[in-house]
Amino acid sequence: MYITPNETIGKSDSESIMLAVKKAKEEGVNSVLIPKLNERTGENKWVIEETIYLPSDIEIIIDNAFLVLADGVYANMFANEALLKEGERTLADEQKNITIRGIGGACLSGGNYNGLSESTSLKNGLPHISKNTMILMVNVRNLTVENIRIEKQRWWAITNICVRDSVFRNINFCADLSRIDENGVHYENELPGNYGETYIKNADGLDLRVGCNNILIENITGFTEDDSVALTALGGFETKLGYLVSGKDTDIHDVKIKNVATDCYICSNVRLLNENGNKIYNIDIDGVTDMRRRKEYKSQYNVRIGDSADAYVSTRHSVMGEIYNISIKNVYGNGTYAVSMCKTLKDSFIDNIICGEDCRVGFGFCHTHLKKSEIENVTFGNILCTNKKATALFLENDREKELKFETKEV
């Protein structure tokens, strides 16, 4: 049983869907199905002009439908309704049981880019850049997002803050990789010659931010302009926007990441980053494949751990012991580094890393972060180099601690 927005036609597609959500809750159906055909317009398209806020205990089924953000709007496509609350966020406000599920060719599209970027965020009357994330969830338990394609994301596609006990699976991304010149002229059918010419920058796929735990991420595919899956325990904009939750820790922990096969342009298939006293621990990464499409560009890191840059720091840098118990297995790398170490790592396990044709380092300290890279009690298994230019392990010897080799390096 479900309600469709074709039963609750409003003045806009967004209103039709929100009225369907309201009716589904009132009638106890708790399920809204968005079909391919929009009877209000007669088109196979739903244009989203304002954020669709979701209550607890609701399922949104996107049945072969195409949903696209309207031109010029600054809005998430979906967000949880507790985001509308002002003041302190607490455990008592935690929403639960929200599902966004696709069937067949379900697609969420950013449509035509609105120009809001990290460099223009909160300037000249523009909102914060988080308004450009397609799905934004804060303080939610039992969230499921699955079986959908997300294309032309205007920033990060899916952003989660203080989300727990949740699942993200079978998600395909297709970011916009087109060129803009120094005069702001957009060439939608041309590739950028360098990162500065990239039309939509920082178009991540799936992001877990502070306070996310007990998460399953699996079967992530497609193209992202930036990191495909990012676990970033920073807390910067979350603190400024009042998104932190009293009663929830700010660490990212107990996350399983399985089968990430993406093209991540020049960034990372999977990224782990923590600063400002936030920790990342108990992370199991199993199956990362670099699916680079073009020789014109090359991702630098397939799995990236840490970053010593000051840009992410609002109070202090992370220290040894704040990212630990990380398991990374079955990585096929074609980036410069299959697994890159850019800060600290403790009590972890690295196994079955394959350096592809264009990979240069199996596991190694990033050359731009050498002085701040350090590992302690890290166990290595197989590292296989398939080209003669690759180095299995690149470590600064005077910083090594308790290195163990359980299987023979090939």
Query: Does 30 map to a domain?
Result: no
Residue 7, in any domain of the structure: no
Residue 399: pLDDT band by 50, 70, 90 thresholds? very low
Is 236 domain-assigned?
yes
Task: Find the domain containing 362 and state its range.
Answer: 44-405
Count CB-CB contacts under 10 A for residue 189: 6
At 370, the pLDDT band (50, 70, 90 cuts) reads: confident
User: By CB neighbour count within 10 A (0-12 exposed, 13-18 middle, 19+ buried), where does 209 fall?
Assistant: buried
* Helix, strand, coil percentages, rounded to 5, for the chain: 10, 45, 45
User: Which letter, b or e, does each residue of 247-263 get, where b requires 16 or more Cβ atoms within 10 Å of its Cβ?
Assistant: ebebbbbbbbbbbbbbb
Query: Is 273 within a domain?
Result: yes
Residue type, 120: T
Task: Count other C-beta atoms under 10 Å from residue 120's C-beta.
Answer: 12
Q: Report the residue count for the chain.
A: 410
CATH number of the domain bearing residue 394 = 2.160.20.10
Residue 337 lies in a domain: yes
Other C-beta atoms lying within 10 Å of the C-beta of residue 338: 32
pLDDT at 369: 74
- How would residue 368 be classed by pLDDT, with cut points 50, 70 and 90? confident
DSSP calls for 343-407: SEEEEEEEEEEEE-TT--EEEEE-GGGGGG-EEEEEEE--EEESSTT-EEEE--GGG--S-EE-S
Element (H, E) at 219: strand 213-223
Domain count within the chain? 1
Domain-located, residue 235 = yes
Give the C-alpha separation, 40 to 163, whole Å: 35
239 secondary structure, DSSP code: H
Distance from C-alpha of 60 to C-alpha of 71, rounded to nearest angstrom: 23
Lowest mean per-residue pLDDT among 239-253, 292-306, 347-361, 386-400: 386-400
Mean pLDDT confidence for 33-60: 98
The answer as to whether 163 is a domain residue is yes
How much is the pLDDT for 193? Answer: 85
Based on the number of CB atoms within 10 Å of its own CB, is 309 exposed (0-12), middle (13-18) or buried (19 or more)?
middle
Does this model's pTM top 0.75? My answer is yes
Give yes or no for residue 396 having a pLDDT over 80: no
Residue 34 placed within a domain: no
